[in-house]
Structure 1
Amino acid sequence: MTPWEVFAVKYADRNQRTRKDSFILDDDHHLPHEMDYFIWVLRQGSEIVLVDTGYDQEEGDRRGRPIRLNPVEALAPLGVDPQTVSTIIVTHLHYDHAGGLKHFPNATIHLQAAEMAYATGPCMCHGTLKDPFTADHVCEAVQRLYSGRVVFHEGDGQVREGVTVHHTGGHSKGLQAVRVLTEAGWMCLASDTSHYYENFLDEKPFPIVVDLDDMLEGFRTIRQLASADRLVIPGHDPLVRDFFPSHGPDHVTRLDHGPTKWIDA
């Protein structure tokens, strides 16, 4: 199999957070804890597969969470044309992962069936569970369904040769991680299966959780999917940009060659 190039594209951050916002089991809840927001790009020759779409300025203004770059602008240095993107893996439908779908009008999305059922079902009657979703983003996914541009997965599924998805749940009912073959070995884009390295390495649950057992099992799953822990890529950890080299602009990080340093180095 031909390995894929993999890039993490940072488009936003939240620096007014503390550790109580990131970990249920932690003794230093008052300490600062920053969060980065990423879109991931898989590239093999001229073929592009996006993993998630981020959220745009309109959504940032609505939630009071400003972004640094709109998704289309953030992806431009990698030559990503939003009109020609044909495949997007949506790890889950939370606003910061599916909020840019409208900017890629011709793409077919790969989604766990459980996530669509969750985001459009009775669980959304609960404000706490509904809060990370935005109705317009979910409706965009439904519109894709009715136009024949949703591929549903139930558990494990293949998107391309060397690119597979794996249901983990925990943070959201239909959350999925992505396994991709790279030059450095099998890489797991964990997305929000593990927001930070600490979540899966120390089995510290993230506070936004639908099923705690699924979240803890998900930590084990992503470690099994990757060739090594250093190739598990958390969904929001600023350390990703410290461990892996930048690629051109400062907001683009190249992942597929592996990290240049690691936690225990």
Structure 2
Amino acid sequence: MSAWQVHALKYADRNDRTRVESFLFDDDHNAPHPMDYFIWVLRRGAEVILVDTGYDGAEADTRGRPIIRDPRDALAEIGLQAEDISQVIVTHLHYDHGGGLHLFPNAEIHLQEAEMAYATGPCMCHGALQMPFTAEHICEAVRRVFQGRCVFHKGDGEVAEGVTVHCVGGHSRGLQVVRVRTDAGWLCLASDATHFYENVFENKPFPIVVDLQNMLDGFATIQRLASDRSLIIPGHDPLTTELFPRDGPEFCWRLDQGPHKGFPF
């Protein structure tokens, strides 16, 4: 079978952050450390798989974290309509990754069993663990279950030929990463298994964590899944937009052919 094309679409950013929000162990916690927000699109001929959904304007207002563009508008500019998206891989149910499920009403979702159990279980009695979740987003995921439009994975699973998911946990109990066969080799959409390149390559955990050992073990897993370290794609690193070529709209970057400049790690 032919390889997949992979695009990253940026829908939001935050420039008011410092390094203390990105790394548990760091020598300069007060230095600025911006964050970008992405959704990812896999395409092979007529096949389309969306990885994560972002969040909408209402959630942006609630959390005081503005979006640059609605994820639906971003997709429309590359020729995709939200209503036509039939497959969505949800890496985890935090608001910025699963908060736009309702924007894709006809999609079947792929989710780890452990993530649903975590997001609906006793851990949510703790405010610190509940903080990245929004109740209505979780209810939307539950509705997909009752509609028969949720495929649960337990550990490793195949979504399509050349696209697999792998549960690593750590940041969220059922966080899964996505492995994609591309012309450049096996690419790993790591999502929040590593928010930034620095997390994985300098072994620095991200502060929002439910299981620190799983997060650290996950760093090794994503390096094993990718054919080359330059084919590991972090969930939020602005460096992605510098390393990979822009393709089409100003907010769209192509990942499946590898970086177009020297990889610094």
> TM-score by structure 1 length?
0.99
Match of 1:174 in 2: 174
Deviations 1:177-200 (A, max 9, x none): 000001111000000000000000
* CA–CA separation in structure 1 for the residues paired with 2:264 and 2:97: 30
Query: What is the CA-CA distance between 1:248 and the residue it aligns to?
Result: 1.2
Deviating beyond 3 angstroms after TM superposition, the runs of 4 or more aligned structure 1 residues are: 262-265
Are 1:109 and 2:122 an aligned pair?
no
Partners of 2:21 and 2:250 in 1: CA distance: 26
Quote the offset at 1:2 in angstroms: 1.3
Answer yes or no: is 1:203 the counterpart of 2:203: yes
**Secondary structure of 2:77's aligned partner:** helix
For structure 2, the residue ranges without an aligned partner over 5 or more in a row are: none
CA shift for structure 1 position 76? 1.3
Distance 1:237 1:25 in 2: 18
Rounded to whole Å, the distance in 2 between the matches of 1:75 and 1:234 is 20
Q: Which whole-Å deviations, capped at 9, do the CAs of 1:190-230 have from their partners, x for residues lacking one?
A: 00000000000011000000000000000000000000100
Q: Which amino acid aligns with 2:6?
A: V
In 1: Cα distance, 2:18 partner to 2:211 partner: 23
Q: What percentage of residue pairs aligned between the two structures are identical? A: 65
Q: Which residue does the alignment assign to 2:59? A: 59
Equivalence for 2:191: 191
User: How many residue pairs are counted as aligned between the two chains?
Assistant: 265
* 2:78–2:248 contact (8 Å) kept in structure 1: no
- Indicate the SS of the match to 1:111: strand
C-alpha separation in 2, matches of 1:38 and 1:80: 16
1:40 deviates by 0.2
In the alignment, the residues of structure 2 paired with residue 83 and residue 73 of structure 1 have an alpha-carbon distance, to the nearest angstrom, of: 12
Determine the C-alpha separation between the residues in 1 that align with 2:262 and 2:126. Answer: 40
CA contact (8 A) 1:230 1:262 kept: no
SS in 2 for 1:83: helix
Paired position in structure 1 for 2:141? 141
Deviation at 1:176, TM superposition (A): 0.2
Matches within 5 A, 1:122-141: 122-141=122-141
Structure 1 gap segments, 5+ residues each = none
AA at the equivalent of 1:146: F
